Amino acid sequence: MAGSGITFKPLAPTFGAEAIGVDFSQPVPKSTIDLIRNGMALYGMLVFRATQLDDAGHVAFASQFGDLDDQTPWLAPGQPYRLGQWTQLSDVGNIEADGQVVQKDSIRYQINQGNRLFHVDCSYNPRRAGFSILRAHTLPPSGTGGGTAFADSRTAYNDLEAQTKEKIKDLVLWHSLWHSRRLGAPDSEILQGIDPEAHAMARHKLVQLHEPSGRMTLYVARHAFRVDGWTREESEPVIGELLSHASQDKYTVQVEWENDGDLIMWDNTCVMHRATGGEYQGKYVRDMRRATVLDSSSTAWGLNDPSGERSGMFASTTKNTSWVKTEGGGETEVHA
């Protein structure tokens, strides 16, 4: 697929492509943005190499696709944000506030282990994420890991048996950030002590129409805590089976980051993703920054109250403000 100097090179049989020919040295024109939207509808995930975007350019590019999420609920009052004024960007790197690499024995490392499970961004908020636009600011040395894996939820749904589709067609899932964080770090006493039901959750239908492509998709992720109206014990076998199905090798592809400035864009409403880890953890800087475009489809708010509570360490409306304390007595920021 090509047009106006852009070529889309498929990365896997059913989804994902590298977008070649976009000039990021100047504001990207609307005609190119429209072509990228078309590519996203078809492929669900696009890779742009060596964009050379800075934070300002990253935010400007992402803003052309819709309203951006912000990090305010995650920021400690009165504390400087590592990315300065760019609160439209999530700090998803492995750098502490003092500039040191996050160590494996830290609570922040434990919390972020949840990112190694297949998930979609912000499904636990009343208004979910649409596009995520992740940029490598500084990569660790080549060969030390840090790739990102993606899963094709549309083809996974299409391949389900008819009886399974009938069984799940009306199910609604409760999504919880703290549920996935607990799953990612089963040995963490701090995280295992958190009750997900004491914090914000959001409800979204499991089977949905992906409006840009007209295809049906599974909106499932490791944030999925339980089926609405079911117990956790009743829910987990169904959620686990669907996640196992959707994360089979035939539905997944792993993208390796090659250059500082590489950018990957994916549609959370039809693609799951996960961090893959590697030898860099605890040793080398991996500074990653993500802009999150809020979903604008008819199902963006799911079955949630638009005035409802967002997840966040310091959200003003949190039911439970017992944010995670570090061993040293301070608070830790988490970005998901």
DSSP 8-state secondary structure symbol assigned to residue 251: G
Would the pLDDT of 315 be above 90? no
CA distances from residue 54 to 84, 95, 111, 136 in whole angstroms, order as listed: 13, 18, 27, 10
At residue 313, the pLDDT reads 55
CATH class of 2-294: alpha beta
Q: Measure the CA–CA gap between 23 and 50, rounded to whole angstroms.
A: 10
Q: What percent of the chain has pLDDT over 90?
A: 86
Cβ atoms of 174 and 201 closer than 8 Å: yes
What does the pLDDT average to over 159-184? 97
Domain ranges, ordered by start, for the chain? 2-294
Structure tokens at 247: 């994360």
Q: b/e map of 120-143 (b: 16 or more CB within 10 Å)? A: bbbbbbbbbbbbbbbbbbebbeee
Mind listing the pLDDT tens digit for each residue in 273-291? 999 999 999 999 999 999 9
How sure is the predictor about 212, in pLDDT bands with cuts at 50, 70 and 90?
very high
Higher pLDDT, 49 or 320: 49
Tokens of 98: 């003092």
